[in-house]
Structure 1
């Protein structure tokens, strides 16, 4: 099953920057403990969805931040 892209360029860039920011905060021990681990898991999800250009939650809520239709 091929995933339709539903994440636009700006959305993708913001997700990547946020994931990198969270990772840096964790690596420099600014966020620690359970909160740090939870945020790192969230950052991993953000990074994976930005690399795939697909967000399952967007599909559930029928949201699309892409400006083009990859089919056409």
Structure 2
């Protein structure tokens, strides 16, 4: 797996997962919505820690900074 996520991308995903957790803990979301958002939050956390998003591959997307030689 070649890393394809930059720092900002990873931070946004972690922040979104945290928001879902807070909404669930506060009782604002529940039931099916909470389950779906919880799974999505788990995926966001996993991809953030791996710095790899499999959905970026088919589109050739990378938010990771290119190394500058100089």
Q: What CA distance in whole angstroms lies between the structure 1 residues aligned with 2:41 and 2:2?
A: 22
Of the three residues 22, 30, 37, the one matched with 1:39 is 37
- Helix, strand or coil at the partner of 2:38: helix
What is the CA–CA distance in structure 2 between the aligned matches of 1:67 and 1:58, rounded to whole Å?
15
Q: Deviations over 1:38-59 (max 9, x none)?
A: 0000000000000000000011
Q: Which runs of 5+ in 2 are unaligned?
A: none
What RMSD, in angstroms, separates the aligned Cα atoms of the two structures?
0.9
Partner of 2:50: 52
CA positional deviation for 1:4? 0.6
1:17 to 7, 15, 29: 15
Structure 2 distance, partners of 1:5, 1:48, is 13
Deviation at 1:22, TM superposition (A): 0.5
* TM-score with structure 2 setting the length: 0.90
TM-score by length of 1: 0.88
